[in-house]
């Protein structure tokens, strides 16, 4: 039988996850600031100060660990064992035990099965930050939103943050660079498929400087992006009630054409 190619998420976050982890580690200080913005959103939505909060794609714990340190009872999930080990180490550094934060390896499209097997009680809030969804297309996002709804209590909320499709269309750039605090660079070339609202990119990883720069990896990445009205509709189709939008986790006002990030808050119906 022909070999089935590995999907890009497995390549980026698992097979070569240690490379992208260098980018994420450099974003930890920003993650602590963003966690304060997320806390304001949770408070405004009525989540209690010691409420149960779930991060469905926590990565190395940049947001969920600071939230746990601020008092929430937290659970972080990810499908990368490497990232979960780093998240657990981060929690340990802050003196957080299993009563304050726990971690589970799972694909977020099946997160309800994992958390039910672990006997985790329903959450007051769930979140997905840093364009962690859109990786498996619209069908995958509908499946995920339905799965998360089953582990959030009636009246609980979902906070989703991602790139704002409308802003990207107005400010589209066909290339960009991500850099770690060391000598890793990820050069990205992009195109946008308007027919599917999908950002298609090629990521090329480099290590070193000048003539010593070496190519480490090339991978094609595709992400379904949404306008506010599309994301609102997606939540409603998955059984959620739209509450409000923000132009970012640290932005008090709603998303607009001038905000490059898009945050949607939705609530699980009480009945």
Residue 70 sits in a domain of what CATH number?
3.40.50.150
Residue 141 resides in a domain:
yes
13 & 110 share domain: yes
Burial grade of 7 (CB within 10 A; 0-12, 13-18, 19 or more) = exposed
Model pLDDT, residue 3: 60
Q: Which residues make Cβ contacts (< 8 Å) with residue 48, sequence separation at least 6?
A: 124
- 249 in helix, strand or coil? coil
189 & 92 share domain: no
What is the pLDDT averaged over residues 60-76? 98
Query: Whole domain around residue 261: which residue ranges?
Result: 8-165+225-267
Is the pLDDT confidence value at 189 over 70? yes
Give the residue among 268, 239, 240, 243 at the shortest CA–CA distance from 254. 243
Is the pLDDT confidence value at 172 over 70? yes
The pLDDT tens digits for 233-271 are 999 999 999 999 999 999 999 999 999 999 999 999 998
Is the pLDDT confidence value at 123 over 80? yes
156 & 185 share domain: no
Is the pLDDT confidence value at 2 over 60? no
The pair phi, psi for residue 4, each rounded to 5°, is -85, 125
64 & 189 share domain: no
Distances (CA, A) of 235 to 18, 194, 244: 33, 21, 12
Model pLDDT, residue 1: 54
Residue 1 resides in a domain:
no
128 & 25 share domain: yes
218 & 119 share domain: no
85 & 157 share domain: yes
Residue 261 resides in a domain:
yes
Residue 2 resides in a domain:
no
Cα–Cα distance measured from residue 122 to residue 33, given in angstroms and rounded to the nearest whole number: 27
Residue at which a domain ends, from 187, 202, 223 = 223
Residue 127 resides in a domain:
yes
41 & 57 share domain: yes
If you average pLDDT over every residue of the chain, what do you get?
Answer: 97
* Domains: count for the chain: 2
The pLDDT tens digits for 73-98 are 999 999 999 999 999 999 999 999 99
Side-by-side strand order, sheet with 73-78:
101-105, 73-78, 52-55, 123-128, 152-163, 261-267, 241-246
The pLDDT tens digits for 96-121 are 999 999 999 999 999 999 999 999 99
Is the pLDDT confidence value at 183 over 90? yes
Residue 101 resides in a domain:
yes
Model pLDDT, residue 43: 98
Please give the residue that has the higher pLDDT: either 69 or 209.
Answer: 69
Residue at which a domain ends, from 223, 241, 259 = 223
189 & 241 share domain: no
Cα–Cα distance measured from residue 168 to residue 152, given in angstroms and rounded to the nearest whole number: 31
100 & 208 share domain: no
133 & 252 share domain: yes
Residue 3 resides in a domain:
no
Residue 12 resides in a domain:
yes
pTM flag (> 0.95):
yes
Model pLDDT, residue 254: 98
Token code pair at residue 223: 């992400």
110 & 41 share domain: yes
Beta strands per DSSP E along the chain: 52-55, 73-78, 101-105, 123-128, 152-163, 175-179, 184-193, 198-207, 214-224, 241-246, 261-267
């Amino acid at each position: 039988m022909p070999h089935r190619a590995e999907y890009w998420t497995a390549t980026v976050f698992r097979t070569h996850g240690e490379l992208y982890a260098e980018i994420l580690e450099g974003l930890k200080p920003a993650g602590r600031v963003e966690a304060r913005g997320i806390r304001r959103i949770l408070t405004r939505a009525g989540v209690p100060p010691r409420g149960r909060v779930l991060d469905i794609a926590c990565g190395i714990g940049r947001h969920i660990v600071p939230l746990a340190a601020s008092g929430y009872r937290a659970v972080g999930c990810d499908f990368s064992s490497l990232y979960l080990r780093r998240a657990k180490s981060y929690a340990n550094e802050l003196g957080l035990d299993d009563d304050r934060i726990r971690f589970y390896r799972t694909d977020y499209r099946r997160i309800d099965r994992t958390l039910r097997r672990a006997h985790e009680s329903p959450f007051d809030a769930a979140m997905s930050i840093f364009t962690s969804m859109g990786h498996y297309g619209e069908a995958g996002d509908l499946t995920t939103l339905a799965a998360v709804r089953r582990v959030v209590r009636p009246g609980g909320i979902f906070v989703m943050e991602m790139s704002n499709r409308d802003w990207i269309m107005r400010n589209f750039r066909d290339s960009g660079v991500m850099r770690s605090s060391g000598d890793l660079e990820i050069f990205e070339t992009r195109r946008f498929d308007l027919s599917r609202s999908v950002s298609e990119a090629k990521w090329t990883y480099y290590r070193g400087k000048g003539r010593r720069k070496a190519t480490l990896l090339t991978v094609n990445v595709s992400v379904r992006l949404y306008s506010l009205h599309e994301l609102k509709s997606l939540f409603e189709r998955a059984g959620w009630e739209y509450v409000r939008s923000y132009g970012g986790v640290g932005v008090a006002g709603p998303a607009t054409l001038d905000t490059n990030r898009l945050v949607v808050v939705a609530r699980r119906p009480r009945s």
